[in-house]
């Protein structure tokens, strides 16, 4: 029953929100930031409804760690399709995220993602991948935060996959803070019992900002591994909360 409600809510959102999407295109021509702000408010509200239908209870920790006066790079572990809804319903900054290129082909969803400054990464094409990262750098310079999951794929194991070091370039090139993000138990919403959606308690914690320029040379050289260790510690700490 829950999976039906989730699917219906997604379909209704795309159908009912399309006229608003067209209006936002016009708004964006005069005020691009307003377009992003309104789009994020609409999408966040839609995700709230979807997570409610899914029976997903959320505990959000560490919001006080996120700087409010600058763009940041959120670096997150990746367990589930539910990760992005959980992030968007809690994050306080205007934020896009890096998704795999296949998601960019999903009708309607890709339109709203583009409104949110989301980018689609081709992991098999180094030149295209570099272009995507460069666009992410430009968004951060414009004051928009970005989310990236350096594991590169959804991972249901307890141990994190290695973090791809290139994913840190957006922070290294802009000097923006990195916010480690630890998401626990999000795969209990769907992936652990596909095709069913079940009640779950998801814990998301935003860690203290990491400033690459303040790290030692060794930690800067392996920045992905450094942030990975922080997230691993956060996940271990939060295990009793799930």
For residue 104, what pLDDT band results from cuts at 50, 70 and 90?
confident
Q: Please check whether residue 163 is in contact with residue 180, taking contact to mean a CB–CB distance below 8 angstroms.
A: no
Domain ranges of the chain: 2-241
Percent of the chain with pLDDT over 70: 100
Q: Which CATH number fits domain 2-241: 3.40.50, 3.40.1130, 3.40.210, 3.30.160?
A: 3.40.1130
Q: For residues 22 and 171, what is the distance between their CA atoms, to the nearest angstrom?
A: 33
Instruction: Return the pLDDT at 54.
Output: 95
CA-based torsion, 93, 118, 76, 135: positive or negative: negative
Per residue in 117-173, pLDDT (tens digit) is 999 988 778 888 889 999 999 999 999 999 999 998 898 888 999 998 888 999 999
Per residue in 67-98, pLDDT (tens digit) is 988 999 999 999 999 999 999 999 999 999 99
Q: Please check whether residue 154 is in contact with residue 209, taking contact to mean a CB–CB distance below 8 angstroms.
A: no
Instruction: Return the pLDDT at 125.
Output: 81
């Amino acid at each position: 029953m829950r999976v039906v409600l989730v699917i219906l809510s997604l379909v209704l959102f795309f159908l009912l929100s399309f006229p608003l999407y067209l209006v936002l295109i016009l708004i964006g021509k005069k005020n691009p930031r307003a377009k992003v702000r309104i789009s994020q408010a609409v999408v966040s509200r839609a995700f709230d409804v979807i997570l409610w239908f899914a029976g997903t209870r959320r505990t959000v920790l560490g919001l006080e760690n996120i700087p409010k006066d600058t763009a940041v790079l959120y670096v997150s572990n990746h367990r589930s399709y539910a990760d992005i809804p959980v992030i968007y319903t809690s994050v306080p900054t205007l934020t896009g995220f890096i998704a795999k290129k296949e998601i960019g082909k999903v009708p309607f969803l890709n339109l709203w993602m583009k409104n949110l400054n989301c980018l689609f990464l081709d992991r098999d094409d180094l030149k295209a991948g570099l272009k995507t990262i460069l666009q992410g750098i430009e968004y951060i310079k414009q004051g928009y935060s970005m989310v990236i999951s350096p594991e590169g794929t959804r991972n249901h194991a307890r141990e994190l996959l290695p973090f791809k070091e290139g994913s840190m370039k957006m922070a290294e090139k802009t000097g923006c803070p990195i916010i480690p993000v630890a998401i626990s138990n999000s795969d209990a919403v769907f992936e652990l019992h596909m095709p069913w959606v079940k009640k779950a308690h998801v814990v998301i914690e935003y860690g203290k900002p990491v400033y690459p320029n303040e790290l030692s040379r060794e930690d800067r050289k392996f920045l992905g591994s450094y942030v990975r260790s922080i997230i691993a510690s956060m996940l271990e700490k939060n295990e009793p909360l799930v």
